[in-house]
Structure 1
Amino acid sequence: MAVSLYTLTVDTHDLPLLARFWSQVLGWRTVFEADDEIVIGADESALPGMCFVPVPDRKTAKNRLHIDLTPDDQAAEVDRIIGLGATRADVGQGPEVTWVVLADPEGNEFCVLRPKKTLLD
């Protein structure tokens, strides 16, 4: 059976804010927009995309699923993403880890890993 990941759907309280944040983080663009849904992607045909849908409630607990980003320069990317509106997050990771945990403007945790060239080191 052939299957592909189509989108990662994110519940959001502020639809335009969160879609714009992740679009800037990933360097993606809006490929579909309606009052109740915004989809971003590298382009219209690239998979997967991210789909943002509005929900009335705000995030209240640690995410069960999160995004990992692989940068060329971890420190520079963390600074850039914080400049876009992310904050540092403590999910109990401890000081010895090689990744940085951040939260998007609505508190969804994600990680910025070591540069990809050192992932296999």
Structure 2
Amino acid sequence: MPSRWEQVVVDSEDPARLARWWAEALGYVIVHEAPDEVEIRRTPAEMPGLLFTPVTEVKKGKNRLHLDLRPDDQEAEVERLVGMGARYADIGQGDVGWVVLADPEGNEFCVLAGSSST
């Protein structure tokens, strides 16, 4: 039987703060919180989750793995996320149909065109 995907681990300077930011961004809930890790999921029973763990070094360079978000309204979602503290990121994407943002600790993610346009 193949393995089941349980979570993505996110290195973080401040796991609690970044987990709360992503929980708000995604509409997730905190399912586990300890001094050295915080996990969020869509619902407590639904996997995969995002597990935020502490690191002492600052992020360097472009992420090798990132999340793609597909909202109903790309423009409104980008505005909401930027209002929450995300910032625009240039990773050399050029003129594309998605928007690249970075979370408060610099982790890049993409906001794809709205689901109504697919």
Work out whether 1:116 is the aligned partner of 2:115. yes
Give every structure 1 segment of 4 or more consecutive aligned residues whose post-TM-superposition deviation is greater than 3 Å. none
The 1-side partners of 2:81 and 2:65 are apart by: 19
Q: TM-score, normalised by structure 1?
A: 0.94
**Runs of 5+ unmatched residues, structure 2:** none
Aligned length: 118
Shift of 1:14: 1.1
Write out aligned runs for 1:66-105 (5 A): 66-94=66-94, 96-105=95-104
Q: TM-score, normalised by structure 2?
A: 0.96
Post-superposition CA distance 1:18-65 (Å, at most 9, x none): 101100100011000000000001121101110000001110110000
Calculate the aligned-residue CA RMSD, in Å.
0.9
The 2-side partners of 1:28 and 1:106 are apart by: 19
The 1-side partners of 2:51 and 2:91 are apart by: 25
Amino-acid identity (%) = 52
The 2-side partners of 1:76 and 1:44 are apart by: 28
